[in-house]
Amino acid sequence: MKNSNYSFLAYFLIISFFTNCFSEAREFIVDGKENSWKIPSSPNEFNKWAEKTRFRIGDYIDSVLQVNEEDYNNCNKAQPIKSYEDGVTKILLDRSGPFFFISGANGHCEKGQKLDVIVLSPKHSSSIR
């Protein structure tokens, strides 16, 4: 009877370890570097980084303005979905699909300070782990 209890405990610990390792939310800093949310050196720099990054539901990202796709494309900051001005806000990526972020500073979005993030569905997230 003792061996079966130890086996069950070992099995439980192994499953718990792997579940926690692969399901914890991750926090992303734009472009992977501290203080990098500023006018980029090339217009598509942030999106090149985002294309190489696998975002999942429950992850966080830092940003200034969250906008819809049309406002993202036109750098329109007049009606953001959400606005953050404290410099330390982390945005929860709470669903699969696209998220669009732009800078709220005048002229910065037009110079490339914007980011398009695609969050994978749970089905796709589990297949890449």
pLDDT digit string (tens) for the chain, length 129 residues: 454 444 434 333 333 333 333 445 677 666 566 656 778 888 888 888 888 888 889 888 876 789 999 999 999 999 999 887 666 667 888 999 999 999 888 899 999 999 999 998 876 544 444
What domains does the chain contain, in order, with CATH numbers? 25-127 (2.60.40.420)
The pTM of the full predicted model, rounded to 2 decimals, is 0.70
Burial 23-55 (b: 16+ CB within 10 A, else e): eeeeebebbeeeeebeebeeeebbeebbeeeeb
The two structure tokens encoding residue 61: 């990202």
Report yes or no: 26 and 94 within 8 Å, Cβ to Cβ: no
